[in-house]
Structure 1
Amino acid sequence: MSSISSLPVVTGNAAFTAKVSDVRERLESQIPTTLRLPSSLLDNLPLDVTGIPESCGLLSENELAITDLDATAVCDKIAKGELTAVDTVTAFGKRAAIAHQLTACLTDYFLDVAIAQAQELDDYFKREGKVFGPLHGLPISVKDHIPIRGRWCSVSFLSTLAVSTEDCDMIRILRSLGAIFYVKTTQPQGGMTLECLSFYGRTLNPYNSNLTAGGSTGGEGALLAMKGSCMGLGTDAGGSIRAPCANCGLYGICPTAKTLPTRGYTWFQYGADGVSQSTGPMCRSARDMKTFLHAINSAGAALSDSSLIPIPCAVPDLSQRKLRVGIMTHDNVVLPHPPILRALEIAKQKLSVAPNIELIEYIPYDHDRGYNIIRETYFEDGGQIVRRHLDAGGENITPLLEWAISPPFTKDHDAAGIHALRNERDKYRFNYSDHWNIAGCDVVLCPPGPGTAGLHETMKYWGYLAIWNLLDYPGLVFPTGLKADPSIDVIRESFEPMSDSDQYNNSLYDPELFVGAPISLQLVARRFNDGLLLAAQEIIEKVIKS
């Protein structure tokens, strides 16, 4: 089978090369021969491959109709008996196989197991006359490092690759709600960069293969954009849900940390909790974020995970008061590329005349300082654990991971150094809270990154995303419906860089290279205001798209 995922993009010693060959052969053998695209097509792909599932002839009209549905509609139709779980997971599973051949987005494919689970649910529905749970029959795709019993799992170091012996808490809860699992998706080497490049290959952006789908939950981003999934499960400690959603024109939320279960997730730096990892949904509609959060919150996850804070995600009614929206054009460190600035200007114009919104020019508080703190916090041992895993697998480091763990921001701290760094983090959090109070915003609308989806190997500025992880402020990303257009998003005539990172980011911009990239925006609220964030997003998106 000809496949993008067979391209050799990560190297190592002879033992590494042999093992990687076995891994990729295993993955490719999981794709049924009836779903394989012809070599003549794979060898001559357009930049934008999103239309191929409709034109390739491998999906029926009914399957195409099913995969056009969002997760909320899937659950509704199954509950009404208008769809079966078997037909639903079969449709999404077949489309996922097509998506993988075009974007290299999967790490494990087990549609046969999913169909067996779906049949059990259909039998239950026929026997009992009701659904098993609120997510009965919903196919959910899952990021690679989240363990599913009996399936392959890793943090994308070859040394961590293994078959999981049990479900983690989140998977167990989703099963109890009726969800079905059928694929696992790619992430970067070590799970800590904004581009998916690992021994599985390089994941491509479906809208423009010269661009990255994002990271670290990039496989989910590509799969969802290709409609090979209607809901994906990801994690986010520096933008790993929001970056792929922004790059691929999706909806995704990074909730306040420790409000959703992560117990049992595979990782490589256990105990390194200077920045808390969050977990959440990646979706094709805004309402699907609510569907997911409401379902998980109903399951009492805090009873089995003592680290969780049992705060319900209550979505308030904002119809009786004005929503105070701060708008941040840039962070005083890096000026976003023209497509993002265009979307922000449109948003500003429309929000400024909306009767139910008070628009505030939001001035960021020392984001350069905050970004420096969190970069130092990610790898408090100077990257020693990373290098040990690379050595154990005979694996060479990818360029972006090498950049992420390199000085001056990454240092090998002793205990006193870690204490001092945590103290700097906490002081910054207090300072930022005071700043937000003075600004008086309910939410802040801002860029999701320094541009749209980036060119491969270039995603080096995480500041627009990671700053909110440092503060533990929930953030979500949503599509504007706009795409990068070379005829509109022209190169700036004059440019005075605000920083070295700004100079680098500006040097990357060529309007022709980003053609077709979705343009998304990010919305942020204060800690534990996840419900407010969801309510505000609905209002703001409606105004922007009016």
Structure 2
Amino acid sequence: MTDWQARCAQRKQSQLDSIPKEWLIDAPPAKQMNVMQIPKQCGLLSIRELEITETVDIEIILEKLASAEWSSVEVTTAFYKRAIIAQQLTNCLTEIFVERALQRAKELDDILQATGKVSGPLHGLPISLKDQFTMKGLETIMGYVGWIGRYAESDCVLVEILYECGAVPFVRTNVPQTLMWGETYNHVFGRTLNPYNTYLTAGGSSGGEGALVAIKGSPLGVGTDIGGSLRIPSAFCGLYTLRPSYERLPYCGAVNALEGQESISSVLGPMANSISGVKLFTKAMIDAKPWLKDPMAIRKEWADKEYELAYHGGGKKLCFGIMWDNGVVRPHPPLHRAMLITKRALEVAGHIVLDWEPHRHLEIYKNSETIFVADGGEDYRMSCNISGEPLIQSMLPEEGGHETTLEEPYVKRLVGPPYHRTTYELWNLHKEKRELRKSHLDHWEATASRTGTGRPIDAIISPAVAYAAVPHGLNTDSFYTTLCNAMDYATSVFPVTFVDANLDHRHPPHEFYNHEDEAIYNLYDSGLFDGCPVGLQLIGRTQEEEAVIAMTETVDRALRLQEKVNDTSKSSN
């Protein structure tokens, strides 16, 4: 082995050594692709630990912690054990620090017992963190071999606030090298798998969080998003998330790729199995006044008026626009069915659903991607050169990869060489981006003429990705998500259904927009994707996090009510 490979092997072994031996389980058969039920079946978790970790409504967990019905030590232990099961099944973790987390949990239990009061709105709750969020005394490797041994001297602001809120940070999760991939693989920790089908990707760059939270190894995770890194893994793994607007939540002190690139800000957000978790986390962060610790954080308190949808007719009759197709890549059949399901559920609930007309998407995407590569890849090369590791050029597995007809992602042709931009050229990209944001705003405002509510469309519903989770190395679509990063729209993702091979038949060929659209069409095979989660995104306006959460709750209620009606109908038949 070369030196960098030896360092990877040594670091991976130290990670394995940090796992309590009594928490190791027997590996499932290699042919078993869906591992979601292994935590229940492996015998490691007690009945009480299963009850704790199967509780997806975080409000309930917090209530039981506050009443001391569940202690933080037992809740943290239960989720830690399940996280270690998830690690053995999906390779989702980086930092494992059991003793430190349990000590923190015990301190919180002792405070509650002594005072009868909780330590904050997240008292005793274990929370997992993407590997970007520095914790004092722990390594922050972020997918680079050269960062092995780089220990944080202080906590990032997010971690400081989590401690103030009474939370228990307990694991950190895997990311791709460079962070700028919609999949999760690096030379240090390897590849993260999707627990619904390990042949498929969990997405990225918050793919470690996606896999962990999906298998309920964490009640709440925190990831980041610059082009879809929260929403893609959430959609692939059946989760709820929120991509907040620039600087609404505190990023200060976290490490990042492309640091200094401020044209399109990376943002952090929660990932959970319930929308309640998204709301509780977001409100707790904002109520902590992050602008007092992070100079970039916007001074905007949590607005109950906005959460009550005061600017959206009080939420009584909302008007949603559905983006069936963005004119760049046409979604696979399960995504189309998910949009139909959502449209029908909302209409039954008394809301209005109109077709959304895409506006200058290709121009917006080209502008964003050109900004992302304006340094010509210098940031990535410098980080790789520290150790001599090669820059990863493809997420395709070296062995056993799925066949693909896509020779080159459309974005490479769209942006084209030379990738490096001068300062003046970058300024012109910023100027173009401002013009595109104004144009898209005007386009949205103009919908007021056809909603019948006196308001423009309240939110847009669209795919987050054109497909459900795909085989490793084949996630190329970020056209739907990058729109929101460039326009700085607050956006959520919510689960709708699962791929059903009996329902989701291949659509007839259409006139392809480009070669990637054709390759994605040819990728579809209902049998390959059968059983995978299908999620959509809800797109709101800039700095409208409270309203986006509330509207997502509205959509989620409509979907779950329609599910009950359908189940009742099936039972009666």
TM-score normalised by length of structure 2 = 0.90
In 2, Cα distance between equivalents of 1:124 and 1:268: 39
> Equivalent residue for 1:409?
415
Count of paired positions: 530
In 1, Cα distance between equivalents of 2:315 and 2:531: 39
* Conserved? CA contact 1:399–1:457, under 8 Å: no
Matched, 1:452 2:468: yes
* Conserved? CA contact 1:96–1:228, under 8 Å: yes
Deviation at 1:58, TM superposition (A): 0.6
Matched, 1:333 2:331: no
Deviation at 1:184, TM superposition (A): 0.4
* Conserved? CA contact 1:324–1:442, under 8 Å: yes
Matched, 1:484 2:473: no
Bigger mean CA deviation after superposition, 309-318 or 183-192: 309-318
SS in 2 for 1:399: coil
Bigger mean CA deviation after superposition, 201-210 or 44-53: 44-53
Change (3 A) 1:112 1:44: same
> Equivalent residue for 1:143?
130
1:35-54 equivalences under 5 Å are 35-38=23-26, 41-44=27-30, 46-54=32-40
- Say which of 535, 538, 542 aligns to 2:550: 535
- Say which of 252, 268, 273 aligns to 1:284: 273
* Conserved? CA contact 1:249–1:479, under 8 Å: yes
* Conserved? CA contact 1:197–1:398, under 8 Å: no
Bigger mean CA deviation after superposition, 465-474 or 402-411: 402-411
In 2, Cα distance between equivalents of 1:48 and 1:369: 39
In 1, Cα distance between equivalents of 2:469 and 2:240: 15
- Say which of 9, 34, 37 aligns to 1:21: 9
Change (3 A) 1:206 1:321: same
> Equivalent residue for 1:67?
53
Change (3 A) 1:522 1:268: closer
SS in 2 for 1:496: coil
Deviation at 1:397, TM superposition (A): 2.5
Matched, 1:188 2:176: yes
* Conserved? CA contact 2:395–2:474, under 8 Å: no
Matched, 1:471 2:465: no
> Match of 2:8, as an amino acid?
V
SS in 1 for 2:79: helix
In 1, Cα distance between equivalents of 2:93 and 2:472: 19
- Say which of 73, 79, 82 aligns to 1:86: 73
* Conserved? CA contact 1:189–1:401, under 8 Å: no
* Conserved? CA contact 1:251–1:479, under 8 Å: yes
Bigger mean CA deviation after superposition, 384-393 or 289-298: 384-393
> Match of 2:472, as an amino acid?
H
Change (3 A) 1:521 1:430: same
Bigger mean CA deviation after superposition, 150-159 or 205-214: 150-159
> Equivalent residue for 2:113?
126
Q: Per-residue CA shift, 1:306-340, capped at 9, x if unaligned?
A: 21111233212465642111111110111011110
Q: CA RMSD for the aligned pairs?
A: 1.7
> Equivalent residue for 1:3?
none
> Equivalent residue for 1:56?
42
Aligned-pair identity in percent equals 35
> Equivalent residue for 1:365?
359
Matched, 1:176 2:164: yes
* Conserved? CA contact 1:135–1:179, under 8 Å: yes
Contiguous gaps of at least 5 residues in structure 2: 397-407, 448-455, 563-573
Deviation at 1:406, TM superposition (A): 5.5
1:256-295 equivalences under 5 Å are 256-295=245-284
> Match of 1:468, as an amino acid?
C
* Conserved? CA contact 1:214–1:244, under 8 Å: yes
* Conserved? CA contact 1:189–1:198, under 8 Å: yes
Contiguous gaps of at least 5 residues in structure 1: 1-12
* Conserved? CA contact 2:289–2:301, under 8 Å: no
Change (3 A) 1:33 1:320: closer
> Equivalent residue for 1:501?
516
* Conserved? CA contact 2:321–2:460, under 8 Å: yes
In 2, Cα distance between equivalents of 1:400 and 1:328: 30
Bigger mean CA deviation after superposition, 309-318 or 95-104: 309-318
Deviation at 1:408, TM superposition (A): 5.4
SS in 2 for 1:209: strand
Q: Per-residue CA shift, 1:101-140, capped at 9, x if unaligned?
A: 0000000111111111111111111111111111110000
In 2, Cα distance between equivalents of 1:240 and 1:400: 17
Change (3 A) 1:401 1:380: farther
Q: Per-residue CA shift, 1:341-400, capped at 9, x if unaligned?
A: 111112223323432x12221101011111111111112111122122222222222234
SS in 2 for 1:211: strand
SS in 1 for 2:380: helix
> Equivalent residue for 2:308?
316
- Say which of 531, 536, 560 aligns to 1:516: 531
SS in 2 for 1:184: strand
In 2, Cα distance between equivalents of 1:421 and 1:257: 18
Matched, 1:223 2:217: no
> Match of 1:479, as an amino acid?
P
In 2, Cα distance between equivalents of 1:119 and 1:353: 48
